[in-house]
């Protein structure tokens, strides 16, 4: 495959590609958090999917062209580990994929959230991701800022840069950040992606200029929670927003597909990593990459 991962020419390629460093990904990816039934910071995302079903879902995503998988060692519940599922389902295809993980937040084996990792503890988190995924290096590692304890990311990002130099990490990104954190990180090492909460109704990154910075500098901006459903990354069920319903009806698609398409319309560097445990929703999410919104659609969606 060479140094760059070649983007598949199947459904997920319809939205085009972007690079995470030298790794080419289709702009529609897949987030694994919901497979475990345990969300971030103790928020439940429902029961975990059956293990064999999760393996089939991950493989199905790749067959449909997804080559950007988002995961983390702290995505686990009493029954499921996202990294273990990725390893079981996709280890034979790692050379075709970009697996992005993250470090920073801490959880003990019982699942309780602990203090944010100190810089000297990040190697242990990286090693745990390597062990669980069955890798000798990680494609991309995001430093997830976790509240005021990492309000200055310099020391933490520097620790990851050292692990990058040691060959454990290929590329670095940051998550849950503001523009000043991007500037801090860039003083140390290149940042290939910024992963923040962002959606049609949650545009903090627009208001503080972060999305524009990423666009200007060619950095991938990777929203999570881009689909506003009852379970965050689930396909939207009872869509209460008349604007979204209007556009969805005009195109004969679901509200979730409209929200994903709106996200991708925010710039060629904007990616999407929706998660789901439902094969039908998976296919719909991937198909959203082919949905082309008109200027009139975008005007309706952006109406105050």
Active site residues: 75
- Whether 2 and 255 have beta carbons less than 8 Å apart is answered as no
Q: How would DSSP label each residue in 116-170?
A: PPPGGGHHHHHHHHHHHHT-SSEEEEEEE--GGGGSS-HHHHHHHHHHHHTTSEE
Q: How many Å apart are CA 2 and CA 160, to the nearest integer?
A: 25
Secondary structure of residue 74 in the 3-state scheme: coil
Q: What integer pLDDT is reported at residue 227 of this predicted model? A: 87
The residue whose two tokens read 């460093």 is: 21
Q: Average pLDDT for residues 102-114, to the nearest whole number?
A: 87
Average pLDDT score, the chain: 90
Report whether pLDDT(2) > 60: no
- Distance of CA 221 to CAs 26, 213, 214, 251, Å? 13, 10, 6, 26
pLDDT > 70 fraction of the chain, expressed in percent and rounded: 88
For the chain, what is the largest distance between any 2 Cα atoms, rounded to a whole number of angstroms?
A: 53
150-188: pLDDT as tens digits: 789 999 999 999 999 999 999 999 999 999 999 999 999
- Whether 190 and 198 have beta carbons less than 8 Å apart is answered as no
Report whether pLDDT(5) > 50: no
Which of 72, 46, 71 is closest to 58 using CA atoms?
A: 71
Report whether pLDDT(210) > 80: yes
Secondary structure of residue 51 in the 3-state scheme: helix
Of 1-15, 76-90, 148-162, the one with minimum mean pLDDT is 1-15
Q: Which two tokens stand for residue 206?
A: 């627009």
Q: What integer pLDDT is reported at residue 228 of this predicted model? A: 60
- Whether 192 and 218 have beta carbons less than 8 Å apart is answered as no
Question: Given pLDDT bands bounded at 50, 70 and 90, which one contains residue 115?
Answer: confident
Beta bridge partners of 222: 195
Beta bridge partners of 183: none
Question: What pTM was computed for the model?
Answer: 0.91
Q: Which CATH class is domain 11-301?
A: alpha beta
Of 7-16, 214-223, 263-272, the one with minimum mean pLDDT is 7-16
Which of 226, 235, 190 is closest to 205 using CA atoms?
A: 226
- Whether 221 and 269 have beta carbons less than 8 Å apart is answered as yes
- Distance of CA 304 to CAs 5, 228, 259, 265, Å? 40, 17, 16, 18
Q: How many Å apart are CA 128 and CA 36, to the nearest integer?
A: 17
Secondary structure of residue 31 in the 3-state scheme: strand
Question: Given pLDDT bands bounded at 50, 70 and 90, which one contains residue 190?
Answer: very high
32-75: pLDDT as tens digits: 999 997 544 444 455 667 999 999 999 999 999 999 999 999 99
Crossing angle of the two packed helices 154-165 and 122-133, in degrees rounded to 10: 50
The pairing of beta strand 98-103 with beta strand 68-70 = parallel
Neighbours of 292 (CB within 10 A): 12
Q: What integer pLDDT is reported at residue 49 of this predicted model? A: 78
The residue whose two tokens read 């919901």 is: 34
229-281: pLDDT as tens digits: 444 544 455 566 889 999 999 999 999 999 999 999 999 999 999 999 999 99
Residues 6+ apart with CB under 8 A from 139: 20, 23, 97, 98, 99, 100, 170, 171
Q: What integer pLDDT is reported at residue 69 of this predicted model? A: 98
Secondary structure of residue 203 in the 3-state scheme: coil
Select the more confidently predicted residue: 142 or 8.
Answer: 142
Report whether pLDDT(283) > 70: yes
Report whether pLDDT(25) > 90: yes
Q: Average pLDDT for residues 202-228, to the nearest whole number?
A: 94
């Amino acid at each position: 495959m060479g140094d760059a991962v070649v983007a598949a020419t199947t459904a997920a390629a319809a939205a085009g590609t972007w690079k995470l460093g030298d790794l080419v990904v289709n702009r529609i990816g897949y987030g694994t958090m919901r497979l475990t039934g345990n969300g971030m910071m103790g928020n439940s995302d429902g029961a975990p999917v059956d293990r064999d079903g999760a393996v089939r879902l991950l493989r199905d995503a790749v067959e449909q062209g997804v080559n950007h998988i988002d995961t983390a060692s702290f995505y686990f519940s009493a029954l499921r580990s996202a990294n273990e599922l990725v390893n079981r389902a996709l280890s034979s295809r790692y050379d075709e994929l970009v697996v992005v993980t993250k470090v920073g937040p801490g959880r003990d084996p019982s699942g309780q959230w602990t203090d944010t990792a100190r810089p000297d503890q990040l190697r242990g988190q990286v090693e745990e991701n390597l062990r669980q995924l069955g890798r000798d290096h990680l494609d991309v590692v995001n430093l997830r800022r976790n509240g005021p304890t990492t309000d200055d990311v310099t020391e933490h990002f520097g620790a990851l840069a050292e692990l990058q130099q040691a060959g454990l990490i290929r590329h670095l990104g940051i998550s849950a950040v503001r523009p000043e954190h991007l500037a801090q990180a860039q003083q140390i090492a290149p940042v290939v992606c910024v992963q923040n909460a962002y959606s049609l109704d949650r545009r903090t990154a627009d208001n503080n200029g972060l999305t524009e910075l990423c666009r200007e500098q060619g950095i991938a901006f990777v929203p999570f929670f881009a689909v506003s459903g009852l379970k965050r990354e689930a396909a939207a069920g009872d869509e209460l927003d008349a604007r979204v319903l209007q556009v969805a009806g005009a195109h004969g698609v679901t509200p979730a597909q409209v929200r994903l398409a709106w996200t991708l319309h925010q710039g060629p560097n904007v990616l999407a990593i929706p998660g789901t445990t439902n094969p039908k929703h998976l296919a719909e999410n991937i198909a959203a990459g082919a949905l082309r919104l008109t200027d009139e659609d975008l005007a309706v969606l952006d109406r105050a």
